[in-house]
Amino acid sequence: LDPNDLPVSWGRGSVTSLQCGPEQILFHEGDEANAVYCLKSGMVKLYKSGGSGDPLIIRLVGPGHLVGYRAVLTDEPFAATAEVVGPTQVCRIPKPLFWELLETSRGFATRLARYIATELRISEEQLLAQAQHTVTDRTIRLLSLFLDEGSFEPRRDAPIHLPLLRSEFAKMVGTTPETLSRVLHRLADSGLLTLTRREIFVRDPEQLRARARRIFPRK
């Protein structure tokens, strides 16, 4: 996931720019998909609940990335909900325009296909992790992913700062806040992390990455 991966020129009338605040919903799971959104700044979380049970956060989306393209592309209803996390600027690209881009802009469809292909790999890796690794392992994996993509404002002495509540973090790992709390504190006790109310400081980034690689090879 690298920002500005899709340098498409939006020189059309129908693209609108939106300034969004926290908790604003771009679209709901089940809604008709009539636009694609592109993040200029800020962050959006994409989660799906499937009707029953707690929602699972499918992914966090940063600047330069697209949301909603999957449903628009296949002409299905949205399969997830997109919610703004912090102050965020987005472009709204209506479906017809998106389709026009696909047909006219040379190479756009290919780039998009490649983009989705990467998402698919990530999703399948997460599926594997979910299927056969413990909460602790999955937590380490997620922390390591956050370290790698610096998109979450690493501080000088404090690599990871997430604008997420613990309960949201839990929804990304696929567990409950209670279990996540225990796991994080166990990791903190072993000296790997330092915890504050809503920040996670990684004491030893290299050791974390090493552990992640040991559990999930080839990353």
Partner DNA sequence: CGCTCCGTTGACGTAAGTCAAGAGATGTGG
Partner DNA sequence: CCACATCTCTTGACTTACGTCAACGGAGCG
Question: Which partner, a copy of itself, DNA, none, binds residue 51 by CB below 5 to 8 Å per kind?
Answer: a copy of itself
State how far the Cα of 42 lies from the Cα of 61, in Å rounded to an integer.
9
- Can residue 165 be called a binding residue for DNA (CB under 7 A)? yes
Cα-to-chain-centroid distance, residue 52: 22
- Can residue 106 be called a binding residue for DNA (CB under 7 A)? no
Question: Which partner, DNA, a copy of itself, none, binds residue 203 by CB below 5 to 8 Å per kind?
Answer: none
Within 136-155, the residues that bind DNA by CB under 7 A are: 136
Question: Which partner, a copy of itself, DNA, none, binds residue 218 by CB below 5 to 8 Å per kind?
Answer: a copy of itself
Contact yes or no for 61/44 (Cβ under 8 A): yes
17, 167, 190, 207: which one contacts DNA (CB under 7 A)?
Answer: 167
**Encoding tokens for residue 37?**
């959104």
State how far the Cα of 214 lies from the Cα of 208, in Å rounded to an integer.
10
Within 117-136, the residues that bind DNA by CB under 7 A are: 134-136
58, 59, 175, 202: which one contacts DNA (CB under 7 A)?
Answer: 175
State how far the Cα of 23 lies from the Cα of 78, in Å rounded to an integer.
18
Residue type, 29: E
Q: What b/e string do you get for 11-31 counting C-beta neighbours within 10 Å, with b at 16 or more?
A: eeeebeeeebeeeeebbebee
Q: How many residues does the chain have?
A: 219
- Can residue 195 be called a binding residue for DNA (CB under 7 A)? yes
Residue type, 215: I
Question: Which partner, DNA, a copy of itself, none, binds residue 197 by CB below 5 to 8 Å per kind?
Answer: DNA
Which spans of this chain sit near DNA (rule: CB under 7 A)? 134-136, 165-167, 174-179, 181-185, 195, 197-198
